[in-house]
């Protein structure tokens, strides 16, 4: 989700091979900034001094018993709202981390392209929103301008995904690769890695003597999907598990299909302020623990995304 989220920097929410064989089954799949429409929802266990890694947390978070999570909760199956609660891959992983750390992860909804701003303004403690770990985000670089726009963030990597091309069912425009998007309308969520990929492809189009992509960006991926469903765009770009989920579920599987290979597969990361290294290291330790004890694998099996598994919780492993 590059300063390029998934569900989801500006993200040029980075979302071919890491997910190429995922079988997406039916149930597959910030206080955030910007306008927020849904109330935050809780994930994780309540504070517990008996939790094995509780002592690793900063004292203020351990006392509060809560880690506030900024997230764009509209990116199934990674995170989405169901009966007023955040559900999906990320909330389930957060729940398992919470049991190790003895705290509750409180998911708070916001716009993806404002999540890092919200984190740096201390509106929440971490970001967990299908956000690709990229060097630009680590260093606070605007991927469009190449200019420094902030202090950057640290990531604890927990998943791997690439970007996929989603088209109307039957592929009426014959889209097979990024090169087929030249001169055509593409709708996608702004502030995402997918946006960065589309902009780079548009530059390639013009360099090759073709027309640029007519790129339309929206605050949420469902808005972009609606444009595609209506035939107002020829494609949407989003993270493979999300694209596959929508292809399987939207309109009973009759609305969309995924074409081509995954593009630029890379890690999702839990973003933490660079000033909060103790929290970062506590989350890394908790992530390593759930990988080792099998809880992580069970969550990925539940959501049919096992081929996105990582084997270790790296810090800033993205490129």
Query: Are 188 and 90 within one domain?
Result: no
Question: What's the pLDDT at 150?
Answer: 84
Q: Is residue 5 part of a domain?
A: no
Q: Quote the pLDDT of residue 284.
A: 98
Which domain range does residue 302 map to?
A: 41-161+265-306
pLDDT score for 39: 43
Q: How far is CA 240 from CA 36, 139, 319, in A?
A: 26, 26, 19
pLDDT at 8: 47
Residues 83 and 198 in one domain: no
Burial of residue 25, with CB atoms counted within 10 A of its CB: 0-12 exposed, 13-18 middle, 19 or more buried: middle
pLDDT on residue 18: 37
Considering the domain architecture, whether residues 91 and 209 belong to the same structural domain is answered as no
> Are residues 142 and 54 both part of a single domain?
yes
CA within 13 Å, CB half, 269 = 28
On whether residue 3 sits in a domain, the answer given is no
- % of residues, the chain, pLDDT over 70: 85
Q: Are residues 66 and 91 in the same domain?
A: yes
CA torsion through residues 117, 121, 123, 125, sign? positive
Q: Is the CB of residue 107 less than 8 Å from the CB of residue 94?
A: yes
Based on the domain organization, do 51 and 183 belong to the same domain?
no
What does the pLDDT read at residue 51? Answer: 95
- Whole-angstrom distance, CA of residue 191 vs CA of residue 39: 22
Number of domains observed in the structure of the chain: 2
Work out the number of other CB atoms within 10 angstroms of the CB of residue 37.
11
Residue 104 counted as domain residue:
yes
CA–CA distance, 23 with 305 (Å, rounded to integer): 7
Residue pair 125/280 in contact (Cβ under 8 Å)? The answer is no
Residues 131 and 275 occupy one common structural domain: yes
Q: Specify whether 176 is located in the same domain as 54.
A: no
pLDDT at 27: 37
Do 257 and 113 lie in one domain? The reply is no
223 and 260, same domain (yes or no): yes
Q: Does residue 10 sit within a domain? A: no
47/153 same-domain check: yes
Statement to judge: residues 182 and 153 lie in one domain: no
Task: Quote the pLDDT of residue 23.
Answer: 36
Residue 204 lies in a domain: yes
102 domain residue, yes or no: yes
Q: Residue 48 has what pLDDT?
A: 54
Give a yes or no: residue 28 inside a domain: no
Residues of the chain short of pLDDT 50, as ranges, are 1-41, 44-47
Helix (H, G, I), strand (E, B) or coil at 64: helix
CATH number at 103 reads 3.40.190.10
Q: Is residue 231, in this structure, part of any structural domain at all?
A: yes
């Amino acid at each position: 989700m590059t300063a390029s989220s998934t569900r989801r920097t500006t993200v040029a929410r980075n979302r071919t091979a890491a997910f190429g064989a995922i079988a997406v089954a039916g149930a597959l799949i910030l206080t955030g900034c910007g306008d927020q429409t849904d109330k935050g929802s809780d994930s994780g266990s309540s504070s517990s001094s008996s939790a094995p890694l509780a002592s690793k947390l900063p004292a203020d978070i351990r006392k509060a018993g809560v880690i506030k999570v900024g997230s764009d909760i509209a990116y199934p199956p990674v995170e989405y709202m169901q009966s007023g609660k955040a559900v999906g891959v990320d909330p389930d992983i957060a729940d398992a981390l919470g049991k190790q750390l003895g705290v509750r992860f409180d998911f708070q909804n916001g716009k993806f392209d404002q999540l890092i701003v919200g984190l740096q303004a201390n509106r929440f403690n971490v970001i967990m929103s299908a956000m690709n770990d990229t060097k630009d985000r680590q260093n606070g670089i605007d991927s469009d301008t190449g200019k420094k726009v902030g202090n950057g963030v640290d990531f604890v990597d927990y998943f791997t995904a690439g970007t996929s091309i989603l088209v109307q069912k039957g592929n009426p425009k014959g889209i097979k690769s990024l090169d087929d998007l030249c001169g055509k309308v593409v709708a996608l969520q702004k502030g995402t890695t997918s946006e960065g990929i589309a902009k780079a492809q548009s530059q390639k189009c013009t360099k090759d003597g073709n027309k640029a992509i007519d790129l339309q960006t929206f605050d949420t991926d469902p808005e972009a999907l609606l444009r595609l469903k209506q035939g107002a765009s020829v494609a949407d770009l989003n993270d493979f598990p999300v694209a596959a989920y929508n292809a399987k579920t939207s309109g009973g599987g009759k609305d969309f299909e995924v074409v081509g290979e995954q593009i630029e597969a890379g890690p999702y990361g839990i973003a933490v302020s660079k000033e909060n290294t103790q929290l970062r290291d506590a989350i890394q330790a908790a992530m390593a623990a759930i990988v080792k004890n099998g809880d992580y694998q069970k969550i990925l099996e539940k959501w049919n995304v096992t081929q996105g598994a990582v084997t270790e919780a790296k810090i800033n492993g993205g490129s």
